[in-house]
Each structure stands twice: as structure tokens, then as C-alpha cells.
Structure 1
């Protein structure tokens, strides 16, 4: 009997393996076919459709496996902005349909897309935005009001009731576990360590978060009001005194033009474009249309390199991680900057930063690579949703810094987190430690011994040295006195709008503006310009492996968890990230700051 069961298991295992091989080769050849498609055909009187359903990433590899599986976003911000620029000049495109189901991208990326839509509207072609029966919240409304007309289905949900942000605190949990955190920080606003020390917001942290919220609310009210022909004060009043929580209320308040069913929305688009039938082309397809075919002439003299810094800054090479935690490793960035610096075809460099910071040591070597390039070619920093602490550290070496009004930046401060887990190990698990050592400081990072006063003093001195270097980098890069930098540093977080006022940012604008400023500094003439994206995209098999891992991770989490559970998982990851900094000096934001 056991022989038969073993034989059956072997046969099943073989069949599964063969099935996996067959599926792989089917996907492989399907992907090859997709990636070798010719230039797409665009019919006359077409409408460019921008489907917004979730996050629009800063960039993504042209992953044929993901296309074959229909998994993940089908285009990135570069594709969307480029498509709008080409569509404005393309006589075959009669208008744009912004079809919004869910907008989860950061506010700065939404600003980038709004600016591209505004530029497209200068062509005189209409832009129509529509929601779905999934409803519309503040982010969806913010994006939709860049259009000429906004339609949503009747009875759909609608939410415009202000903004809030919350942060988790772990001090009580650590106390119950008998784990003692030892904190070293510089900056009264450096709130990264508060989750370990408090159970609520400090007054300094509450002050800076409230300022960020007010800046976000001002930007939202002004842009939505402008798009709908309303005063910003009326938008604020609606959110505070008469929150809009239904499609009917949104229509009565003038936030949308009409309540239409999907077929009626298509009729409205045909009417606006004057077409007898609705012919559409998506962004992912239209991205393959050459700029010259759309009627644009691309500058021939050289290219602008766009180097991306996305995620938590870590030292060394890019780690392989299961899941979707993104990191910005120092070595790939340095290699990309060296390639851009030494390439004769690259005339100027834009560094796109979307990072809350991380390792102070990694930030320093990345700053050095950026500064080295800036000594030879124009280097412009474009800030995305967040470019704070270590993200600002490396940006300080650029010739010019451009941010969006609601970019989260600043946070010029450093901290170190050290844990003594001896109480937990002994009292909860019965594990004790004894050791011999050659010097009194050999066990300073062991994590199983309490800190002595002299050890605390040496750690504070080391942290202060890192902070002093941080201040010097900012002062030199921004042409400011150290004392002036200290007044706006201390770990305080600023919005892009406020950062410009205090001198941390030069100009408010999008990635497209940064590319334009870089090209102007290199005397490249009028655009559009050829773009070289760095670091280089990964190989097919690297993307295939990561695509499978990420897909499995997302699908398992979606199938086995609720929305509330996923929120707790995100908070747990934030705790793991902070605990993982044990024994290192960090220049980063405390947690992910989100405005809901």
C-alpha cells in the first residue's frame, strides 16, 4: 500500500513539474510575441483612454509576463505623461478620457499627471473624466477635476470630508515584552523614534503633521476649486461643515457635471469629440507610437539621463526580498550615476527621488556620487511623493531641486535605535547570556546587555557627528549658513510648498519640468528630449522571477486577509523596518505618512 501511495505521489509530482514547464514555455513564447509587436495603429478620431485603477508606478519594466497574465499596472507615469504630450500634437487623437476607478498613487504623482493634463488641454482638445460605481474619494476627485467635465454614475459613493493621518506606537508592546529600547537622536522634530518611547504624538510631531495636513488641504481646495470654478473657501467649507458623501450631493454642490450611466458617459464623449462612434486607444498601446509619428520632433543632440531612487535607502547591492518592499540600494545608484556621468551621449542628469531615507552611511556615498556627477554635468533633482531625511541628504548635492507642492521633504535629522532584549529572553524564554570580551565596548551592539552611561555618551557623539555632516552637506549644497540650516532642520518635515519658502527647494513642478530645466542647463535646445532611464531595466528572467514572487505574494495576501488585516500587516512591516535598524545610524522618516 505504501509502495502504491509513493508511486502515485511520484507520478503526480512529475505531472505537476511537466505542467509547470509547459506553462513556462507557453508564457515565454507568448511574452516574446508580445514584446516583438510592431508599432500600434491609431485610427483617426480616436480618444486616448487613461485607465486609473490603483497605483500608477513611477516606472516599470516592459514586463511581457505581467502583460500576458494581465497582472499589475499596464503603464507607468512616464508612459502617461508621454502619451498626453504626443496626443496633444497627434491629429488622430480627438480627446482624452480619464477613466478613474481608484487612484492610490501619492499626491505628488497625481500632481504630475494633472500638470500633463493641463498641458494637453492647451491643444484645445477636450478632456472628460468619469468615475465608476466603485465611487470617488478625494484622490479620485483631485485627479478628475483636471478635466473639462466630470461624470459619475448615480447612487455611487462619494467622499470629500477632509484629511487625517495616524501613526502607530509600540512602547506599551515593548514594555509588555520586557524589551528595552535605547534611543539616540538629534533634532527635536526627529519623530522616527517616538513609536518606541511614547503612546501618542509629541507636541513637535503633532505640529509638523498638522502643518503637512493643512498644506495638503490648501493645495487640494485650491486645485479642486479652480477645476470646478469654485472658491477654495467653498471647498473647505463643504468638507468641514457639509461633508459630501453621495453622488447626488456631489452633483448638487457642483463638484461633478452630471450623474450618468456608463453608456451615457460614452454618448457624452462622442458628443464632445464630434465623432459618430467611439474609437479608443489605451496608454499602454499608445506608448509604442513614436513621437515623430505623432507630430513631434525629438531633439537629436544627446539625451537626458533620469536616475531613479525609490524606496528605503540601504547600503550595498539591491537585496532580494519576498513581497513588495522597495529599496534604493547604494551600489546600483552609484553605478547608474557613473554611467550617466561618463557617457558622451548624456548631456544632463535628472535624479528622481521618491524615498523616506534610510541608512545615513548609504545616503552619504550616494550624495558623493551625485555631487561628483554635478561637477561635470548639470544635475537636477526631481522629488516625488516623498524625498525626506536620507532622500533629502543625497538630493542636497544637486544644482537645482524641484518638488511638487505636496511632496514630503526635509526631515534633516538622524537617529539610532538600540534594543536590550535580555529581559524578554530570560523572563519569557528562559534564555540567559554570559560572555568574555577583549575590551569594555566589544558588546555595545549585542542587544542582550543594558547600556552603560559611557556607552550612551559615545553613541550620542557618533550620532552628532553624522548630523553635523548632514548639516554641512545641506548648507554647502543650498548656499546657506549652517545656523540657517539648523533653524529649519532638527528633523522637521516640510511640504514642498513650505520647503521652497524656507530655501530647501528651488522650484515647484513635475518631473517633466526637471527634464526641461536639465536640458536647458546643457543647452540642448527645444524638446522633447531623448531620455535614458537608469538603473537599466532588469533582464527578462529577473523580471520573470520577481513577477512570480510578487504575484504569489499579492494574491495570497488578497485571498487570505481582509482590508483591516492588511492595514495591520503594513504597520507590522513598519515596526520590523524600524527594529531592523538596530545598531545603525539612520536618516529616515519614522513611518509612512499618508493623508487619508
Structure 2
């Protein structure tokens, strides 16, 4: 017995000691997170901007970034990057920019913001060198503003024009005997097209052709201007596939040299006038964000609200625009007397029509008390345009996708699928003929179809009325440019859908002028989450995504996300863009 107690108390003591050590270890980690030391920029620093990063509207938290690793940093939000470049322009420690330009997952408007900010940085007289091994077209668009562009001798410069491709599910649904009962308003409203067609409709082909041609023309024109080339020659290089190797890109002066990574770095050493074996002080943009204070301070407040993702009812999740959450954020800014103006950055393809209406209402109330300015990002269309249309002023970029003023809903009939594929049937009772109108186990009656279409037409009329009132246009004119059609930011300006072509900074400057203040600071929402929430949230999302990808691969995962969108549309009245409008 004595031996037992001796062993028991020894184990207990070890457990207590272990618990104490873990407690102080966690305390140290948490202390480091709560008060992390700022990294040093050092001298003769070169800021590294990687175009391969996805720059969302707000910072993408890396929950491990504050634990002391030299290699892990948060990915700054797009406007953070713009402000960091403006800060670096005046920072004597920063001597230039090294632009990594391989793949570029960002949208056209995001790349426009980056390109404008880099062009502004160049006004300082500091150098901007761009380098890539396989330079994509979108990366080249940003890189074309650099002093020098270099490509790996065995690499390539993508020069092929733009294309987009849509996935069509009609045939698969027919084989499964699933009937999507689709109702929509607007002949260009293509969000439901993959369910009701097996190829692109002529209306959709027209709008996408015009959209891509607009982006393509601008791509060629800005490249020609930046590189001192002829637009006709650049177009010929595309049409005749003349740029096949890196050497071809050099021959046609798209790049300034064919160099390996070490050779480009030797050029940078020469530019910095340091020893040929000196260690280059490359500062990743995420590290620079930790090292410097780049946000303006002032007496007055301007509320900057980032609205990115699908517009949904309720509070919404991360990367969603939940109507309850955003009504509260706008209302909070409206009631705060220290907030002199509100700027809303919208980057969304739309979503729930009711959620869009509710946010529109809150913006309308806020506008009566203080200026409300909206800035469009890569996409601000359909429901996202709905909620924005009554602002005092709307800014967009040439590469913004906007418009898509239209409505749709889907009510799926699974009766044949259950009966013929699974051997399952349904029966029940009801107190009225249409009590089960949204049931997925039977087809709609003729009367029910008329009822649903009337609802869609009513919402479409309301949508056009909101736009007509907000934009001070005749509703007949709005109908002529609506019909679910998407437009570029450039066309949106000429049609009166937006007020100005400009960046988010231009929108902030406009709001400050309207509020008659120059002494202000930005208060940004939604606010960042706690370290623990970030850690657990990141782990949960990554684990879920990786589990699916490991089973079905990258292409399968893309199809999976599209099918998830289909499921989320069923039975909900939507103002939304097509499923996955990806332009490459």
C-alpha cells in the first residue's frame, strides 16, 4: 500500500508541475501575442510585393504570425497595401520595390489599385524591379508600370488574350431527373443559365464578349503606354501567338532582359551600391505592415466599412455580408457624432434580395445625417449594386464588374429523382391548395408558377425603382440598362451607374471633402477577431477545405463550390451574378 501511495503522489506531483509549466508557457505565448515586438526594417531595405498573394479587402490573419516566426506574416488587406506603398514612398529606409510577378489570382480592379499605388511610389525616384519565371497576363498588367521587367530565360510571359468559361449542369440534372423550376427577370440574368441550358445563351455571350473586350482593350492600351509600344503590334502578338517563349517577349520588348533570380538580385545589389555578396534586406509587405505605423491619425472619424462576400440574411459568417451585421455597423456609424462620414467598400456579386433591401434601407437613413460614399472593388453587382445605389457618390475602377440589375429564384422538384432513382415517395395532408408551395417533392402547379413569377417581377420592379431614385434616372432608362446585364466600371460611368472612376483612397478623400474635414482618422469595420477566434476559425476552415480537396482534387473542389452555391439558391429570391465568373 505504501508503494502505491508513493507512486500515486509522485505521479500527482509530476502532473501538477507539468500543469504549472504549461500554464506559464501559454502565458508567455499569450503575452507575446498581446504585445508583440515590432520587426526592424533596417537600412537599404527593398519592399517585396508578391502578386501571387490574394489581396482581399481586409487583412487575412495568420494566427501564428505573432508567435515570433520570421517567415509568417498576416497578408495585408488591399487598402493596407496601398497605404503601405504610400508610406514606403517617403520612408528613407526603403530604397525600392521588388515585384514578384508569376501567377496573379486577383481581380482586375484589385490589380488596378496596386498598379496605381506602385506608379505613385515611382514618383519618389526609387526603383521598381519586376521579376517572374512564368508571368501571367494579370501579373504583367501590374508589372508593366515597373522600371524594369525581367523574366527567367527558360520561363514564359503569358500573352494570349482573355477568356472565361462557364460550367453547365442541365444534362446532369436531366440524367438525375432533377427539375430546377427557374424564375427570373432580365434577359441577361445568367445566374440560372447553367441549370437551364447546356451552352451559353446569345444574350450572355453578348454581355460577356463586351465585358472581356473592354478589359482586354484597356490591358493592351495601358501596356502600350507604359512600355512605349504600339497597341496594334501587341494585338498582333496575341492573334498570331507570337509570344511563345521568354525570348519572344524580349524580342517584342515586353521585358527588359532574360535573367535568373540571382542575376536580378545582383542588379539590385548594384542599384543599392552594396557588395556583390551582401545579404539583401528584402522586407515582405506583411512584415512591413508590422514594422511601421501607416494609418493616418486625426481628430474626426470617418467610418470605413468593408463589405466583401455574398449578401446573406441574418448575421452571416466570415467573408459574407450579413444583413443584421452590416445594418448594425452602418447604424453604429450613423449614431456616432464623432463619425463625420461613412465610406463603404463593396466587393460582392450580390445574394439575397431581402438582405440587400435591408442594407439599402440603413444606407438611406445614414445618408440623411452624414455623407455616405461607396467604393466598388472587383465586383459590385446585382444585390451588391442594389444596396449601394442610394449613396451620395459611387466610385468604381475600370476593371470593376457592376450592374446585373435583375432577380431570380429556383424551386427544385425532386419527385422523379426520389421515386425513380431511390424508390422513395411522399404523401401528406394540407389545409390549403398552396400550403406546400415550396416543397421539393412535387412540381409547381400552373397557378403557383404564376404566383412565383409575379413575386420575381415585383422585386425586379422594386430593384429598378431603387436604382432610379438613387441615381436620379427615369425607370424606363434604368430598365433599358438593367435586364440583369453586367457592365465594366468604365461603362458603368457612361451609363450613370457610378459617379466617378477612382480608387478607395479617392472615395475616402471625397467623403472627407463632403464632411469638410482634413483632420481625420479611419475607423475600420468589421473589427479583427481575437487571437483564439482566429486560431480556431483558421484551423476549422483549412481542415474542412483540405479534407474535401484531398478527396476530389482542385478541379473537383471548384465544381463542389458551384454545387454548394446551387443548393444555397434554392427557394431564396436572389439578386446575384453568375456562379463563377472567372476571367483568365
TM-score in terms of structure 2 length: 0.91
User: Which of 515, 528, 532 matches 1:537?
Assistant: 528
- Alignment of 1:207 onto 2:206: yes
| 1:254 matched residue in structure 2 | 253
- Alignment of 1:583 onto 2:571: yes
Residue deviations 1:244-282 (CA, integer Å, cap 9, x gap): 232111111111111111221112123334455533322
User: Which of 540, 548, 552 matches 1:549?
Assistant: 540
Checking the alignment, whether the CA contact within 8 Å between 2:61 and 2:74 is kept in structure 1 is no
Give the 3 Å change call, closer, same or farther, for CA 49–317 of structure 1 in structure 2. same
Checking the alignment, whether the CA contact within 8 Å between 2:60 and 2:75 is kept in structure 1 is no
| 1:304 matched residue in structure 2 | 302
Superposed, 1:155-174 pairs within 5 Å as 155-174=154-173
| 1:374 matched residue in structure 2 | 367
Is the partner of 2:408 in helix, strand or coil? strand
Separation (CA, whole Å) in 1 of partners of 2:143 and 2:376:
23
| 1:140 matched residue in structure 2 | 139
Checking the alignment, whether the CA contact within 8 Å between 2:102 and 2:136 is kept in structure 1 is no
Separation (CA, whole Å) in 2 of partners of 1:45 and 1:521:
40
Superposed, 1:22-33 pairs within 5 Å as 29-30=28-29, 32-33=31-32
| 1:105 matched residue in structure 2 | 106
Residue deviations 1:114-134 (CA, integer Å, cap 9, x gap): 111111111222111111x3x
Give the 3 Å change call, closer, same or farther, for CA 412–24 of structure 1 in structure 2. farther
Query: Cα offset for 1:579?
Result: 2.9
Query: Cα offset for 1:66?
Result: 5.0
Separation (CA, whole Å) in 2 of partners of 1:283 and 1:137:
21
Separation (CA, whole Å) in 1 of partners of 2:21 and 2:453:
59
TM-score in terms of structure 1 length: 0.89
| 1:572 matched residue in structure 2 | 560
Checking the alignment, whether the CA contact within 8 Å between 2:404 and 2:484 is kept in structure 1 is yes
| 1:402 matched residue in structure 2 | 395
Superposed, 1:78-477 pairs within 5 Å as 78-131=79-132, 133=133, 135-276=134-275, 277=278, 278-291=280-293, 298=296, 300-319=298-317, 326-477=319-470
Separation (CA, whole Å) in 2 of partners of 1:333 and 1:439:
38
Name structure 2 gaps, 5 residues minimum: 1-17
Separation (CA, whole Å) in 2 of partners of 1:282 and 1:299:
24
Residue deviations 1:558-593 (CA, integer Å, cap 9, x gap): 6555xxx42232123213212322222110012121
Give the 3 Å change call, closer, same or farther, for CA 381–457 of structure 1 in structure 2. same
Checking the alignment, whether the CA contact within 8 Å between 1:299 and 1:524 is kept in structure 2 is no
Give the 3 Å change call, closer, same or farther, for CA 262–383 of structure 1 in structure 2. same
Residue deviations 1:503-546 (CA, integer Å, cap 9, x gap): 101111211111111111112227xx522111222222221111
Checking the alignment, whether the CA contact within 8 Å between 2:36 and 2:66 is kept in structure 1 is no
Is the partner of 1:213 in helix, strand or coil? helix
Separation (CA, whole Å) in 2 of partners of 1:501 and 1:543:
42
Superposed, 1:465-504 pairs within 5 Å as 465-504=458-497
Separation (CA, whole Å) in 2 of partners of 1:374 and 1:403:
19
Is the partner of 1:157 in helix, strand or coil? strand
Separation (CA, whole Å) in 2 of partners of 1:86 and 1:197:
51
Is the partner of 1:156 in helix, strand or coil? strand
Checking the alignment, whether the CA contact within 8 Å between 1:31 and 1:64 is kept in structure 2 is no
Choose 552-561 or 412-421, whichever is displaced more: 552-561
Separation (CA, whole Å) in 1 of partners of 2:283 and 2:23:
30
Name structure 1 gaps, 5 residues minimum: 1-18, 321-325
Choose 567-576 or 584-593, whichever is displaced more: 567-576
| 2:52 matched residue in structure 1 | 53
Separation (CA, whole Å) in 2 of partners of 1:81 and 1:22:
44
Checking the alignment, whether the CA contact within 8 Å between 1:96 and 1:127 is kept in structure 2 is yes
Give the 3 Å change call, closer, same or farther, for CA 28–103 of structure 1 in structure 2. farther
Give the 3 Å change call, closer, same or farther, for CA 425–24 of structure 1 in structure 2. farther
Query: Cα offset for 1:400?
Result: 0.8
Separation (CA, whole Å) in 1 of partners of 2:431 and 2:575:
31
Checking the alignment, whether the CA contact within 8 Å between 1:151 and 1:265 is kept in structure 2 is yes
Choose 472-481 or 368-377, whichever is displaced more: 368-377
Give the 3 Å change call, closer, same or farther, for CA 465–291 of structure 1 in structure 2. same
Separation (CA, whole Å) in 2 of partners of 1:61 and 1:569:
21
Checking the alignment, whether the CA contact within 8 Å between 2:62 and 2:72 is kept in structure 1 is no
Query: Cα offset for 1:288?
Result: 3.3
CA RMSD of aligned residues (A): 2.5
Separation (CA, whole Å) in 2 of partners of 1:226 and 1:478:
34
Query: Cα offset for 1:401?
Result: 0.8
Checking the alignment, whether the CA contact within 8 Å between 1:48 and 1:280 is kept in structure 2 is yes
Separation (CA, whole Å) in 2 of partners of 1:146 and 1:373:
39
Give the 3 Å change call, closer, same or farther, for CA 264–390 of structure 1 in structure 2. same
Residue deviations 1:161-214 (CA, integer Å, cap 9, x gap): 111101111111111111112111111111111111110011100000111110
Give the 3 Å change call, closer, same or farther, for CA 453–578 of structure 1 in structure 2. same
Residue deviations 1:363-389 (CA, integer Å, cap 9, x gap): 100111112111111111111111110
Choose 62-71 or 276-285, whichever is displaced more: 62-71
Checking the alignment, whether the CA contact within 8 Å between 1:65 and 1:547 is kept in structure 2 is no
Residue deviations 1:381-440 (CA, integer Å, cap 9, x gap): 111111110010001021111111111110000011111100110111111111211111
Residue deviations 1:305-329 (CA, integer Å, cap 9, x gap): 2111111111001248xxxxx3221
Query: Cα offset for 1:497?
Result: 1.0
